Amino acid sequence: MLAAAENVSLRDQLERREEEVCDLRCAAETFDVEKTMAVSGAIAKMVKTSEAEFLGLPAPSFEGEPMIPRKTEVEKTSEPAADDPPTDP
């Protein structure tokens, strides 16, 4: 009886650890995507700034540029199902 209770406890611990590993993998994938987007955005800004400097124009302002949405913001917005009709009239 004691071995069965210990077995159940160990299975519960294993399930929690598997969920933690899954969450960490998801976080790592999200981080890689955000990092790539940030680097790409920085490169684009550098190119635009260098181009303006080369042409003797004032440096561009990047205020109001779209930001990378955080994971929590992405989770809040639901995507329509593929078979949902568009909402535009």
- What is the domain count for the chain? 1
Rounded to the nearest integer, the mean pLDDT of the chain is 83
3-state helix, strand, coil in the chain (%, to 5): 65, 0, 35
**Is residue 64 one of the residues assigned to a domain?**
no
**pTM for the whole structure:** 0.47
Q: What is the pLDDT of residues 49-78, one digit of tens each?
A: 999 999 999 988 888 777 766 666 666 655
| Residue 6 within a domain | no
Q: Is residue 26 part of a domain?
A: yes
34 burial (CB, 10 Å; 0-12 / 13-18 / 19+) is middle
Within a domain: 79: no
Residue 17 lies in a domain: yes
**In 11-69, beta strands by DSSP E:** none
Position 43 in a domain: yes
On whether residue 25 sits in a domain, the answer given is yes
